[in-house]
Structure 1
Amino acid sequence: MGREKKKYQSGAATNFITRASAVKKLQLSLVDFRRLCILKGVYPVQPNNPAQANKGKRAIRTFYRSKDILFLAHDPIINKFRAHKIFARKVKSARHKKDWTRLERLSENKPGYTLDYIVKERYPTFVDALRDIDDPLTMCATFGAMKKNAKVESRLIPICSRLTMEFMQFVIASRALKKVFLSIKGIYYQVEVQGQTITWIVPYLFTSTRPRDIDLRIMSTFVEFYSTLLGFINYRLYSTLNLHYPPKISLIEKSRTTDESDTSTSFCMDKEEEQERVAAMTLDLAKVSKEPIGDEDEEENVQDEELMADGTLDTEAVQEAKEERDKEKKFKNLFEGCKFYLAREVPRETLTFVLRCFGAQVSWDKTVFIGATYDVNDESITHQIVDRPQQKKEYLSRYYIQPQWVFDSINARLLLPVEEYFPGVVLPPHLSPFVQEKEGDYMPPEKKTLLNRQHGINAAKPEEGKENEEDAEEDEEEGGNISEDEEESHLTEVEERHLSQLQRKQDMERRSKQQEIKDTSKLSVEAGEVKPVDVVYEAEKEARMERSLQEMMMTKKRKRLYQKLMKKRKTKQKQVRKLTSRREQYDSEQKTQKKKLKTSAK
């Protein structure tokens, strides 16, 4: 006879453990346990059978895997948490007894810990860290834009802003920016680093209130780990480009701006001046050594020539790869040779980062922020970005544009016409570059015109069509001012149409009478008429019959799947029709408004 198996001694009851039991086993407080789980990347799980995992109890519990708790039990950071708890108790006792010498000695010997080994443990390779950098960048950008708060350590805010700025400087140096989108949540950036696509959000620099349902202490624990991870990644990325870390300004750029810094307003102390100039993102960074790293384009061209000589690659494939590479190179130098001047009212940091990623020179008023490289009086400025309809003084040698032109040009991968973005002009819709329309999806007319511009096909036709329509409408509106000869010709045309309609009615009545006489007469054989065949209708009918036969031959499982797909397609088509009708209604409303404005102006 085998031993009888006891209940709840195996399976889910032993594989999972409740949070209260885990805290008791590790001998930690709930705050320290939550902090430890965040740092080590251990999260709650939901078992398939919660009642069995909770040993027959139906109460709602938070479960963890038992092997994860055993893994946490041997971590050395637990001893650091306990040492900090003892230190806090000693500080409280010394403060209560007013023993200031002991309190000073304790503050000098405050226990600390590092998270370097946890980063190496969670991300064994650099590619793994790059894949998971989206959340660290978003969190550090959010905390960097925060105000000082009692629930957040004051040292975390400057660290987060510095790390975010260092990563943005790397993106500028490597020209890795691909897409930008201004949304309600914030500014979306997408870059490509070492084959990995990274997308993060940067909040707007508005004064906002903190939501009460967010626990900043938990978020600061995440930021504590993310800042360590981002520091490792920045150091590795800077070393790949042969740049100093922490970043420094090159001596050439520093000597070029010495005269300007003497005359400019002093924003900070001498020690912090270089850091602020790096944060301005208008100057190139210094390199570790002057020895140039091999040019990637030259190496790739040599490899292509060798492969073509060997005959291992198809010439068409090599030609397509070269064209793609040339397009990418042209896109990276989109604003090369352009000099931009930013007005006070535009977002300085965002526009500087975006423009510098594509080779442009950027400056602003010296009294706004440190790092300005030229004044507004410079005649070589090509574009001035403003967000006001009127300017005090305008220069004929430059374009005055709204900030949206920069972002739309980057997403379109070409320089769009500046006429649509002049100050005071109603801007075109800001389309998201992250939305890729598939076959059958709704595509707005602005996206169609943008695709035509990218391919260079009928770039000016939509605008010409709109102008022709407006001219025709104007002609219709001005129809009241017609001469007498035109009125007479119009009346004669109407009379001719009326007479032709009367003749058609008389012919129809005559034919119907003849048909009645034929029916009443004796039977006779007449020549038949060939009925016209609708080829398209017949082809569609045959396709429907084939589809119904195929559906009859399907199994029940495949038939359900097919019906589900067809239902999804029908709902998609219905949504497309709905959006197109809304757009048509909106366009008609806009036309009526324009007509009213024209009539009121007259």
Structure 2
Amino acid sequence: MARIQKKGTSGNAKNYITRSQAVRKLQISLGDFRRLCIFKGIYPREPRSKKRVSKSSTPSTTFYYAKDIQYLLHEPLLAKFRDQKALAKKISKALGRNEVSDASRLERNLTPKLSLDHIIKQRYPTFVDALRDLDDALSMLFLFANLPSTSEVPAKIIAKCQRLTLEFEHYLIRTHSLRKSFLSIKGIYYEATIQGQDILWLVPYKFVQRTGADVDFRIMATFVDFYTTLLGFINFRLYTSIGLVYPPRFDAKSEEQGAELGAFQLEGQNANGQTEIEGTADAQSNQKAQAEADRLLALPEEQQPGQAAEDGADNEGDDSGETNDQTSGALDQFTSVDESADTLPQPSATADASATGRLFEPFTFFLSRETPRHSLEFIVKAFGCKRVGWASVLGEPGSYCSEDDSRITHQIVDRPDLPLPSPPLTDGDDDEEEEGVVNRKPNERVPGRIYVQPQWVWDSINAGKLQRPDLYAPGATLPPHLSPWVKQKRGDYDPTAPLAEQETAAEVEMEDEGEDVVVDGADEGSESEEIDGVRGDEEAREMEVELEEEDGGMDVQLAQSDDEEPEDQDTAAAAADEWGGFSGDEGAADADADESAARQAQAELEAEALGHAPVNPTKPATGTAQAKRSKAEREAQEDVERRKMMMPRRKRKMYEKMVYSNARKDEETGKLRAKRRKIEKGATGAKG
């Protein structure tokens, strides 16, 4: 007789463990268990059947893998947590005896320090693994760097997050690794490419943040502790890979005065291992900026961008003696051994990335006080600009020039249109202008300077080339700011394309007849377009492949043929009656069309004689555009319905769901086109 197996000792009941059982097994509190799971990257699991996993009559709600909990038994942090618990008992006893000095001494001398270095090495065995997990870390640290100091979020944590994020931004500026950015309602999205890994993170706007009471900052603080350790390791590796000393020198006084990026002083190492000061990101590096700007302006226009990029690369190599694998490394060239073989395409991404990374190098920017200074300074410097100035009231350290400086080529403003300067009233004998400084009135343009709105910077870097400045002039209606990560598909609404290229045939017919285009859903021929692959939808193509491979006792090729005619005339007539006369007599249809046209012409003549707008009383309610559907479209619709009847039930339900979702998408795009059509008509009427 087989041995009776005890319940809960094998299968899924053995593979899973509840949270309360895990806490009792580790002998720690629930808060420490949560911190430990966050540090180690262990998360709850959802079993297929909670009833089979649970050992009690009432199924639990939170389960973990038993192997994960067994792995936590050997974690060194458990000893630290127990030491913290024992110290808390000693401090509470001292406070109970009113021994405040002893309690403070115990807290100052015996508080255990948690080190997460070994956890970083365990979770990320290679540096590429750490880069792949950097998205959430950057988003969390940038969020805490912009939070106000409260009792839940101490100022020390905020300062640490600000320092680490600014160090990371300095690396992106130095290597020109920033690729894209997008302004959204949540904040500013950035994407950078580091060692072949695309990193995307979100930075909130610098508004006055109000922390809600429903947010558990204890759990978020645990994530911040782990992410600060992770970003510290990554910054050290990134800085040393390009020959810089980490951590860079930090000037606290400049930071208090609003320098931000300019408060850091980068240091490089020469071939002998000695440290050389390369200068701050703004002040010391700008000492050479004027000479370089004069040299670039003296060159011909066609030679300025390329020559500036080459000279900038030479200057960086001469100053620091470093090698940048992000911008200066050449890709391998692939050659074929066999001469008769196909030619292999050669990579050219390095040259394109290098040219795009130095997009703003020949320019000098001035940021007005109403613009987001930090984000604009970071972006323009990451794309090659070394000369950025702003008003001294926003922070004197790091600013390059004043607003009246004649060396400024672009000024970014976010205010109504600025007037042009008025001609001088005198000959200028009394008011002598200083060299390099333009005297002007407040809120007045400087001749020879390009004024653009902040969106021009984002659209230029996303497009990889400089956009037209006149489209982004102060007070102008800006072009649509589109996400660089959304790829337009055929059939979707594209605000950058002309409306005539996106309108459907039904909308064009209704617009030609002077009717109001009303979008009630998808076009009537949408099903035929989906099944025949006219729109190029991937779901429709997958459906056709499934239909061809289906062995349900049907021949798909026979269903797809359009030239096939029914053998029995009575059967064909019955089918025509069943489908509501889609394939009626062509001659009768022509006669009805002629009669309808005659009645419409007579009604128009009568209305014109009475002085009213022409009215067509015989026009159906659905509109003449739908009534003029051709015979080919009707046959295609009939073919679709016939093929749907031959589908299995599962495939037919899937197909109908696909058609419904596509109809909803078409309805939304139709509404957007109708809204744009109305706006364009209103603008045309206003001009007229």
TM-score scaled by length of structure 1? 0.73
- Counterpart CA distance in 2 for 1:274 and 1:223 is 25
* Residues 281 and 353, structure 1, Cα contact 8 Å, conserved in 2: no
* Residues 365 and 412, structure 2, Cα contact 8 Å, conserved in 1: yes
Provide the secondary structure at the position in 1 that maps to 2:200: strand
* Cα deviations by residue, 1:290-311 (Å, 9 ceiling, x for unpaired): 434278877637x54x838986
Give the corresponding residue for 2:141. 140
* Cα deviations by residue, 1:45-91 (Å, 9 ceiling, x for unpaired): 22221122222423553222222111112211011011112222223
**Stretch of structure 1 that moved more, 66-75 or 574-583:** 574-583
Alignment of 1:193-208 (within 5 A): 193-208=194-209
- Counterpart CA distance in 2 for 1:84 and 1:141 is 30
* Residues 277 and 371, structure 1, Cα contact 8 Å, conserved in 2: no
Give the corresponding residue for 2:128. 127
* Residues 413 and 453, structure 2, Cα contact 8 Å, conserved in 1: yes
Tell me the amino acid that sits aligned with residue 161 of structure 1.
Q
- Counterpart CA distance in 2 for 1:299 and 1:227 is 30
Give the corresponding residue for 1:163. 164
Provide the secondary structure at the position in 1 that maps to 2:113: coil
* Residues 242 and 287, structure 1, Cα contact 8 Å, conserved in 2: no
Give the corresponding residue for 2:272. none
Report the CA distance between 1:348 and its aligned residue.
Answer: 0.9
Give the corresponding residue for 1:348. 373
Provide the secondary structure at the position in 2 that maps to 1:23: helix
Alignment of 1:45-444 (within 5 A): 45-58=45-58, 60-95=60-95, 96-98=97-99, 100=101, 103-104=104-105, 106-248=107-249, 268=256, 275=263, 281-282=281-282, 290-293=320-323, 300=330, 303-304=332-333, 307=335, 317-318=345-346, 321-322=347-348, 325-360=350-385, 361-369=387-395, 370-389=397-416, 390=418, 391-444=442-495
Tell me the amino acid that sits aligned with residue 229 of structure 2.
T
- Counterpart CA distance in 2 for 1:78 and 1:70 is 13
- Counterpart CA distance in 2 for 1:91 and 1:313 is 79
Report the CA distance between 1:17 and its aligned residue.
Answer: 1.8
Tell me the amino acid that sits aligned with residue 74 of structure 1.
H
* Residues 175 and 357, structure 1, Cα contact 8 Å, conserved in 2: yes
Change over 3 Å in CA distance of 1:289–1:414 after alignment to 2: closer
* Residues 453 and 472, structure 2, Cα contact 8 Å, conserved in 1: yes
- Counterpart CA distance in 2 for 1:353 and 1:272 is 10
Provide the secondary structure at the position in 2 that maps to 1:191: strand
Provide the secondary structure at the position in 1 that maps to 2:678: helix
- Counterpart CA distance in 2 for 1:558 and 1:573 is 22
* Cα deviations by residue, 1:336-381 (Å, 9 ceiling, x for unpaired): 2010011122111100001111112212123422211222232121
2:666 paired residue among 555, 568, 573: 573
Provide the secondary structure at the position in 1 that maps to 2:199: strand
Give the corresponding residue for 1:482. none
- Counterpart CA distance in 2 for 1:111 and 1:447 is 62
Provide the secondary structure at the position in 1 that maps to 2:202: strand
* Residues 38 and 221, structure 1, Cα contact 8 Å, conserved in 2: yes
Alignment of 1:536-551 (within 5 A): none
* Residues 13 and 53, structure 2, Cα contact 8 Å, conserved in 1: yes
Change over 3 Å in CA distance of 1:140–1:366 after alignment to 2: same
* Residues 363 and 373, structure 1, Cα contact 8 Å, conserved in 2: yes
Tell me the amino acid that sits aligned with residue 380 of structure 1.
R
Alignment of 1:551-562 (within 5 A): 555-562=648-655
Give the corresponding residue for 1:586. 679
Provide the secondary structure at the position in 2 that maps to 1:119: helix
* Residues 411 and 449, structure 2, Cα contact 8 Å, conserved in 1: yes
Report the CA distance between 1:125 and its aligned residue.
Answer: 1.4
- Counterpart CA distance in 1 for 2:66 and 2:336 is 58
- Counterpart CA distance in 2 for 1:300 and 1:276 is 30
- Counterpart CA distance in 2 for 1:189 and 1:406 is 13
Give the corresponding residue for 2:40. 40
**Structure 1 unpaired stretches of 5+:** 255-264, 452-500, 506-535
Change over 3 Å in CA distance of 1:280–1:437 after alignment to 2: farther
- Counterpart CA distance in 1 for 2:350 and 2:36 is 47
Provide the secondary structure at the position in 1 that maps to 2:141: helix
Provide the secondary structure at the position in 1 that maps to 2:394: coil
**Stretch of structure 1 that moved more, 105-114 or 229-238:** 105-114
* Cα deviations by residue, 1:241-272 (Å, 9 ceiling, x for unpaired): 222211359xxxx9xxxxxxxxxx97759x99
* Residues 134 and 199, structure 1, Cα contact 8 Å, conserved in 2: yes
* Residues 244 and 288, structure 1, Cα contact 8 Å, conserved in 2: no
* Residues 177 and 189, structure 1, Cα contact 8 Å, conserved in 2: yes
Report the CA distance between 1:141 and its aligned residue.
Answer: 0.3
Q: CA RMSD for the aligned pairs?
A: 3.6
**Structure 2 unpaired stretches of 5+:** 267-278, 286-315, 419-441, 502-600, 606-628
- Counterpart CA distance in 2 for 1:124 and 1:297 is 26
- Counterpart CA distance in 1 for 2:284 and 2:52 is 62
Tell me the amino acid that sits aligned with residue 184 of structure 1.
I
- Counterpart CA distance in 2 for 1:284 and 1:175 is 19
- Counterpart CA distance in 2 for 1:424 and 1:280 is 36
* Residues 170 and 238, structure 1, Cα contact 8 Å, conserved in 2: yes
- Counterpart CA distance in 2 for 1:16 and 1:162 is 42
Report the CA distance between 1:551 and its aligned residue.
Answer: 5.3
Tell me the amino acid that sits aligned with residue 382 of structure 2.
C
TM-score scaled by length of structure 2? 0.64
* Residues 363 and 375, structure 1, Cα contact 8 Å, conserved in 2: yes
Change over 3 Å in CA distance of 1:386–1:296 after alignment to 2: closer
* Cα deviations by residue, 1:472-515 (Å, 9 ceiling, x for unpaired): xxxxxxxxxxxxxxxxxxxxxxxxxxxxx99x99xxxxxxxxxx
Provide the secondary structure at the position in 1 that maps to 2:180: strand
- Counterpart CA distance in 2 for 1:194 and 1:325 is 12
- Counterpart CA distance in 2 for 1:356 and 1:313 is 45
* Residues 381 and 397, structure 1, Cα contact 8 Å, conserved in 2: no
Report the CA distance between 1:335 and its aligned residue.
Answer: 1.2
* Residues 242 and 289, structure 1, Cα contact 8 Å, conserved in 2: no
Structure with higher helix content = 1
* Residues 493 and 672, structure 2, Cα contact 8 Å, conserved in 1: yes
Report the CA distance between 1:131 and its aligned residue.
Answer: 1.0
Provide the secondary structure at the position in 2 that maps to 1:180: strand
Report the CA distance between 1:140 and its aligned residue.
Answer: 0.2
Report the CA distance between 1:12 and its aligned residue.
Answer: 2.6
Number of aligned pairs? Answer: 493
Report the CA distance between 1:587 and its aligned residue.
Answer: 3.0
